[in-house]
Amino acid sequence: MKRRHPRRTALTVLAAASLLSSLVSFGTAPAAAAEATGKVAGTGTARTGGTPLNMRQSPSSTARKVGEVANGGKVWIMCQVVAEHVNGTVRATRVWNRLANNTWVSDAYVQRAYYRIPVCSAARPPTAGAWTLPLSAGLVSGYRTINRPTHDGVDLGAARYTPIRAVAAGRVIRVVCNISRGSCDVDGNRALSGCGWYAEIQHAGNVVTRYCHMARRPAVAVGQLVRKGQFIGYVGSSGSSSGPHLHFEVHVNAPPATRANAVNPVWFLRARGIRLG
C-alpha cells in the first residue's frame, strides 16, 4: 500500500471499506477488519501526549476545528473512513473516526480496543444518538404561530428548577442575562423584554441552540465543552416570561444566532429522531 499521497477526495464506501480492510492492521483482531461493516461502534481514549485532540468538521487536519477532546478524554466512535494520512502518537494511519457528535478525529491519536466499527456511509450520516431532548415537557407555545409570528422558538412547560440539558455535544458560546430592566435572578413578566438568563451552545455543522428564562445564571461558562445531555441550568421565569418554562431555539448556519437563521426546533429534532413536546 502506497501512502505517499493521501487522498482527500471523497471515497466511495466500497473503496473505503476495501482500504480499511488492508489498513486496519493494528489491534488484536486484524482478521476481523474485513468485517468492518459490522454494527458495533466503539469507545476510545484520546492519546495526544498532552494537547487536546481536535474535532474537525470533516476527516482532514485542515478542516474546520469544531471542538476538542482533552488528552485522556473518551471518544465515542460511530464509524470510520479512510482519508488523510496522519502520523500520530498512537499509530500512523489514514483512518479517521466519526464521533457521536458528528465530528471527526484522526484515529492516529485514539487508543482503543479492537471493535467492529462500521464504515461511514456518505449517503446517510449516522446522526442517531447524537441528539436528545433539552427536557421532557409538553409544548405550550409553538414556533412562529399565527398569534406569535415573531416567536422564534418553542416553549416547553416544565416546572421551575427542572434541569435543562444540552441537546447535543458542543461548545458554550454565550451565557447572558438579557432583560430590558431589573434582574434575571428574579421572576420576570411580560411587560419586560428579553430572554432572561440564557445560554447558547454551538454544535457540529454550524448549529446553535439557545435556552432561555433560566432561574439563575446557567451552570456552564462560555468556552466550555458540553456533552449531549449535560446539565446546563434550571428552568425558571426570568426576562419576558409569564411563568416557568423553557424557551428553546435552534439556529442553522450559525453563529451568530439571528431571527433569519432560526428554524422550527420540532422539525429540526424530528429529522434527528427526537420527538419534542
Q: How far is the CB of 151 from Zn ion (least distance, A)?
A: 6
Q: How far is the CB of 19 from Zn ion (least distance, A)?
A: 49
Q: How far is the CB of 8 from Zn ion (least distance, A)?
A: 44
Q: How far is the CB of 153 from Zn ion (least distance, A)?
A: 5
Nearer to Zn ion, 91 or 245 (CB): 245
Nearer to Zn ion, 247 or 251 (CB): 247
Q: How far is the CB of 256 from Zn ion (least distance, A)?
A: 19
Strand 246-251 to strand 154-156: parallel, antiparallel, or no bridges (unpaired)?
A: antiparallel
Nearer to Zn ion, 109 or 248 (CB): 248
Cβ partners under 8 Å of residue 264, min gap 6: 143, 144, 154, 250
Residues that bind Zn ion (CB under 5 A): 155, 247
Nearer to Zn ion, 221 or 260 (CB): 260
Q: Strands of 104-106's sheet, edge to edge?
A: 65-69, 53-56, 104-106, 92-99, 74-87, 42-46, 110-111
Indicate the DSSP class of residue 62: T
In the complex, residue closest to Zn ion by CB: 247
Nearer to Zn ion, 51 or 242 (CB): 242
Nearer to Zn ion, 19 or 154 (CB): 154
- Burial of 39 per CB tally in 10 Å (0-12, 13-18, 19+): exposed
Dihedral of alpha carbons 29, 30, 34, 36, sign? positive
Cβ proximity of 24 and 110 under 8 Å: no
Q: How far is the CB of 219 from Zn ion (least distance, A)?
A: 21
